[in-house]
Structures are given as structure tokens and as C-alpha cells.
Amino acid sequence: MVSHLIFIIITWRVLQAIKLEGWVRKDHVFEVRVLMILVTITIGTSVSRFFLDFLQWSQQLVHLF
């Protein structure tokens, strides 16, 4: 869970640098922010799962030999 939160925070900081609000009309800023939150959760969780799976796979390599 801590890994998920860390990667979600990192993803949020990266996505904030993109400034998507400037690409949409003024009356749709809220929708873009909600989309950013959902995309952040999706990307952060996926990267965290990959990282945790990679650690688990690397620990299982010992059992192959």
C-alpha cells in the first residue's frame, strides 16, 4: 500500500507539470482535474504493481537454479 501511495504521489507531481488546464476551455477545468486524478491513480497503481511484481520475480530467481 505504501508503494502504491508513493507512486501515485510521484505520478501526480509529474502530471501537474503538464498543465492540461491550458488546453481546454475555461468552463471545463474541473473535469480535467478529475481526469488527472483518475489517470494518476491508474498510472501510479500500475507502476507500483510492476515494481512489486519485479521484486517478487527477482526473489524467485534463486529457486530456478
Residues 6+ apart with CB under 8 A from 29: 21
pLDDT of residue 10: 95
Residues 6+ apart with CB under 8 A from 26: none
Cell numbers linked to 24: 481546454
**How many Å apart are CA 18 and CA 6, to the nearest integer?**
19
pLDDT of residue 1: 86
pLDDT of residue 14: 92
pLDDT of residue 51: 95
Residues 6+ apart with CB under 8 A from 12: 36, 40, 44
**How many Å apart are CA 1 and CA 44, to the nearest integer?**
11
Averaged pLDDT in 10-residue chunks for the chain of 65 residues? 93 86 77 90 97 93 78
pLDDT of residue 11: 94
Each domain of the chain, given as residue ranges in start order, spans 2-64
